[in-house]
Structure 1
Amino acid sequence: MKVLFIGDIVGNTGRKAVKTLLPELKSKYNPHIIIANAENAAGGRGVTAAIIKEFADLGVHGFTMGNHTWDNRDIFEWIDDDKRVVRPANFPPGTPGRGMTTIKANGKELVILNLQGRTFLPAIDCPFRTADELLERAGKQSKAILVDFHAEATSEKIAMGWHLDGRASFVVGTHTHVQTNDDTILPNGTGYLTDCGMVGSKEGVLGMERDAVLRKFKTQLPVRFTVCEGKWHFHAVFVEIDDSTGKAVRINKIRIREDEWIMS
C-alpha cells in the first residue's frame, strides 16, 4: 500500500499549494490513500465542512486534526457524521467526533489514529495509554495503521515512535510545522518521522504573518496572528506499507518550494 501524508495545511496559502501540487504528486507517487492534517486549514485555526469537501474533491481521503480542532464552531455540527475526519483520540470521553477511523480507497484499507501530546500543550488524557487501548482494536480491522501524533516536544514524539514500534505501520508527528530529517524504519518495522512539516507560506513564521509574531516576542503584549500570504512551501511524506505484514518498507520525505519546484 502506498500512502501520501500531507503536513499541517495552513490557511488559504496552504490550500492553494495543495490544489497546485496534488495532481503532480499523485502522478509521481501513485498513492492508494492520501491523508492530510487539516487543523489549520481555515485561516490558520480549525477547519470547515466546506474545506473538507474542497480537499476531498481534490482526492484527499482522510483528515487528522490537533489542538486547534474546535477553533471553528461549525465543526460541532458535522464532525460526528464525517467518518473521514479524526480528532485526537485522547480528548476526554464524550468529546464529539472520533479519534480513529478506517479509510478505504483504491482497494486498500488504512486505519488512521490521531493523538495529541501533553508536553507544552493542554493536559488531556494520556496519549500512550490511549494508543494502547485503540491499537488493540485497530489490529483486528487492518494490518496497515497510521498514527498522527500531534505534539510539541520532540522527546514525546520519539518516545511514542518507540512505544508503537511493531504495532503501527507509520508514526508521523505534526504540530511544529518544521519538517525534521529523522525519517527511519524502526527495528520492528514501524516507519517514523518526528514532524512532517507544513503546507503554507514560507515567508512567515510557521505560516503566520511574521511582523505580528516578532511583535509578540519583542513586547510580550497580546497580538492577533493572521495567516501569511506569499510564496508557499509544501511538506509531506510518502510511505509504502507491506500489505501482508503491515510494516513500512519505504519512506520518502517531500519538500517543495513554490519558487524552486524542486522535489526531494
Structure 2
Amino acid sequence: MKLRFSHLRWRYWALLVLGFILALVAARQALRPLWNDPVIVVEIGGTYESMMERSTTRFSPLIRGHIWAGSPKSDARLRFIDSQFGFETPLARFLSVGFDDNVVDDLRMSPQIEPLLIDDAMKVIVDLQTQWCAKGWKPMGTQGDPTIADTPEWRAYVRQGVLPGVSFWQAGDKYQAMLILARFRDSRHLDQERYLITLAVAEPWIPFDEIEDRRLESHHFPPPLPEKGAIPCPSQPS
C-alpha cells in the first residue's frame, strides 16, 4: 500500500512538472517577440496600421487628423522597408516616427541604446553606409560634407568635439538620409570618450542636384577629405 502511494505521489509531481514546462513553452511562444530584439518596421508613405502589423513592439497610439510623432514603448531595431532601398539598424533607445494623420512622413533616431566608444560607433556608421551602398544609396554634398569613414583622420576630427561629422545620402528620388557622429559627454562615463549617432530619413529635402555643394574653404573647421581616387561605394558598379 505504501509503495503504491509513493508511486502515485511520484506520478502526481511528474505530471505537475510536465504541466509547468508545457505552460512555460506555450507562454514563451505566445510572447516570442519579448525574447528577440523588438523591431519597428517603417515605410515612408506607409500607414500607421501597416507599421503596427509588421512590428513586434508597442508604439504610441495613433492621433488622427494631425501632424504628430510617436515612438516605440521599448528599445527597438528599425527595419526600414523598401523593395530596393531597405536597411536595418541596431537596437535604439531613441526612435521617433513622424506622421501626417496615419501616414508615415519621416523618422529620426539614434541607432544605439547608450553613448558608444569610438570603435563601436564607427562599426555602426560603417555598417549603415555599407548597407546603403549595397542598396543603391548615393553620398551627396560630399564637397562640403565628405562621407564619414573609419580612418585616423576622422577619429581625430570628431574626438576634438568642435563639430560633428555629417554625411548625406540619397536613394534615387525617394529618400534622403542625414547621418551625424558627434562626441557626447556621458555623465556615467566621465573618464571615457563617448559618441552619439543621429540618423534622419525622409523624402528628399535638400535639392543637391540644383545647388552647388558647399565649398570646404567656407568651413572654419573642415572635415577630413577622402583619399584621392577613393570611391565612397566601391561595391557599386560605375
Q: Which has the higher contact order (CA 8 A, sep 6+)?
A: 1
TM-score of the two chains, using structure 2 as the length reference: 0.25
- Looking at CA atoms only, which structure, 1 or 2, has the larger radius of gyration? 2
